[in-house]
Structure 1
Amino acid sequence: MTDYSMKAPVLYGVGAIRQLGARIRGFGAKKPMLICDPRLEEATYEKAVSSVTEAGLDYVLFRETKRDAPIEVIDRCGEIALREKADCLVGIGGGSTLDTAKATAILLSHPGPIKQYILAQPIAVSVDVPIILLPTTAGTGSESTAVAVVNRTDLNMKWSVFVTLALAIIDPELTVSLPPYETAYTGMDALAHAIEGVTSNNPNPLSHACGLDAIRKISRSLRRAWQDGQDLDARIEMAQAAHLAGIAFDDAMTHFGHATADGMSINLHTPHGVGCALALPEVCARCGPAVPERMREIAEAALLPLRGDESGEELGRITADWCRQLMREMRIPSLKAQGFDRALMAEVAKETETSHLSDFSPVKVTHDLALEIAYGVYDNYQ
């Protein structure tokens, strides 16, 4: 038996950002805070502000978000939102910006600081203000999920909290200006969400169907979006894939791939999507023997050539090789190429072993396996 649900209503379509102001008014809010990525394209920012002001709304602006949503930034954002009496939070940007908006909502509903809600075992916290999220990347799927991943900089840990969303606005046009490298690693993050969601030991029918469809779309469109950011058809399909992949892991959960990526983020300071990309071949290789039927479905969804009689181990290797080839084609560098010392992977492995995410792995993550996974990330992709 399993529990699963959709976490937020969705407004989807090219140009959907123009509905932002009307949707804020629909929630009865009068003064939203726009929480934006500091690198947000000016045209996107102007569309958001125009929609809000045309709806007759005042607004507060926060453009100080940082990668991995550190607690200090969230506390600062919450302080400003409370002072300005913001009654709706609108996150516009990549995953860290959207997670900042989610976590800030807690501070408009409960006493701070935020760190008391960001624990090793995630908790759900009720919020009193509507949260509206507009992704500008096609990867994190944060708009699809209740989870906010936050950097507990006081402990050098990345932990999570769950909040309820009011609305996701998915406008593929907002991703057109995303540079090739970010297109590559956020797209691989979406692929990791889909594959880990499908191979989780806590699957459900929705996660399975959405995950496989996300893999199909990514296999068709990620390279195209990377090669030509103005290819709107590819951007549309990647926006859909990222959203579906978010649904795929929201209840089913990711597992040791994301735990390993968190270890890289903490110890090597790699972007989240890069870590997820680098860990993904190791996920495929080890999940193939554990869940061969599901790995076959993943390989088929990725349109990989199969004989039909492959073992689980073969399916894992074939899918892992495909992931590595995708990374090479899109020039995602290996850890060695980035100048990292192999010895650091022992520290990365500690997060692989101890993270609550590894509890959702289809294979038991022992100390030895965690080391094998971490060193495999370093050794098997050059």
Structure 2
Amino acid sequence: MASVLVINSGSSSFKYQLIDADSEQRLASGLVERIGETTGHATHDTSDGHWERSLGIPDHTAGFGVMIDAFAEHGPSLEEHPPVAVGHRVVHGGARFFEPTLITPLVLINIEDLSELAPLHNPANVEGIRAAQAAFPDLPHVAVFDTAFHQTMPADAYTYGLEASLAERLRIRRYGFHGTSHEFVSRAAADFVGRPLAELKQIVLHLGNGASVCAVDGGRSVDTSMGFTPLEGLVMGTRTGDIDPAVLLYLQRKTRIGVDDLDDLLNKKSGILGLSGHRDMRDLTRAAASGDETSRLALGVYVRRVKRYVGAYLAELGGADLIVFTAGIGENSSVVRERSLAGMQSLGIEIDSNRNAMPNDGPRIISTDASVVTVLVVPTNEELEIARQTLRVAE
């Protein structure tokens, strides 16, 4: 009854899942949050129920103690389902890490060194790794990097048109993110249609609060919409996506806005929120349907950017066999799916409105039988992908 413990650590919280190593079923999941605040909060979920607890959690090490207590009190027992390894989501692996990696002291130093490329994420990932190593000192710990899947991009896809020596010195290039999701979904889509992954050209649309598109050729990422940071690409929940860099210079000259405030504007106050005031795509689509012009515009901007990337990747791939929607919006918004691919019949893409509107939690085809390109919805499962990759390294 061996298991894998998957950790996704933030600066003041961490999420966890315990996954059965053989059946790949989720045995338990939880969230420890408000770490370092006066009162922390923890949740623990199993097939038997949901539990919550509030208490002081001064640091991540204490948080792991809370998690272990939850397993002891509410199950499943870590003695009956002993973890054989701990898998850690790490956001940025730079150009150094292109596969899941056993965490050694040197690897941890390298992850810390990459913190300047992901200052909001890698330091928190490192803190979670250290706390987990203290809690489970005898287990192998494996880092699974969001950027790793995109290390197969060719140089002309990841290189910016920036002065070359400066870009090389400061490690400025396109890295891409959501790689764990894109890898899982592209493989799951191939399995669902019963075709070899190596034979398929796919466009995977990970549409959540953060959103990205990936062109996958034979199971390998050849291009993706996010770049040096997760800000590039699609319009997102609170991020601008692609924007003329001269706009930033103009803003600084006209408003004297500081670097930190500019970063906050681009990442936290723009996107769908900045355009419409809505944080949730469900609220946005309802408001747009009721005739609110601001919401209509925001939705139009959102789907137009998706369509632009689909068209670009169709050109790069020389056509596609599959277009796959995933993540919160991609899996649940029939409006976004239909509008993102509307008017593309001449490119062999035709959505079946009835199939698209039918609610379903599992993988499904939403294109017509006549569509040259098969369009699917495939739920993502990044934790399961991390568990699988962790096992490959730990075994």
TM-score by length of 2: 0.29
Structure with more of its chain in helix, by fraction: 1
Structure showing greater Rg: 2
Give the TM-score, by structure 1 length: 0.30
Which structure shows the higher strand fraction?
2
